[in-house]
Amino acid sequence: MQRRIRLREERLEEGDWDELLPALAIPIRAADAVAGSAAAAAAAVGGSIAAVTSDDPRLLKINEILDERVRPALMGDGGYLEVLGLDDHTLSIRYQGACGSCPSSLTGTLMAIEGMLKQEVDPDLEVIAV
């Protein structure tokens, strides 16, 4: 059985698309994973939902910082960053789109994100890209 997600075409301002893209990513991944196992569905959606439903206030603050300062710049270059989870002092992220294959995402960008989050959230935080 083939499933499709249909979007009605409307004229969007450029800023509207930047806000719409992350909101669409979660249900699209979830719909795609429904055809697979429950584990596949959790893996497809897990990072974003886990970050939103977490009781850890650091994770909420991290996502606020990323939403305000990092994700808009990455989306401007055709990429995105998903938070997969926070285990003690280790934040796991996944680069998506153009950022997934960009050499600077694993060096300069990752170090800049880690430095920003260390300064504003937790000085012992380590950020790893998986």
Strand order across the 90-97 sheet:
79-87, 90-97, 126-129
What confidence score (pLDDT) does residue 85 get? Answer: 87
CB burial of residue 113 (10 Å; 0-12, 13-18, 19+): buried
What confidence score (pLDDT) does residue 115 get? Answer: 95
14-129: CATH topology is GMP Synthetase; Chain A, domain 3 (3.30.300)
**Residue 80 tokens, joined:** 């995105």
* Low-confidence stretches of the chain (pLDDT beneath 70): 1-53
Helix, strand, or coil (residue 107): coil
Question: Could you tell me the residue ranges of all domains in the chain?
Answer: 14-129
Report the run of H or E that residue 78 belongs to, with start and end: none
What confidence score (pLDDT) does residue 6 get? Answer: 60
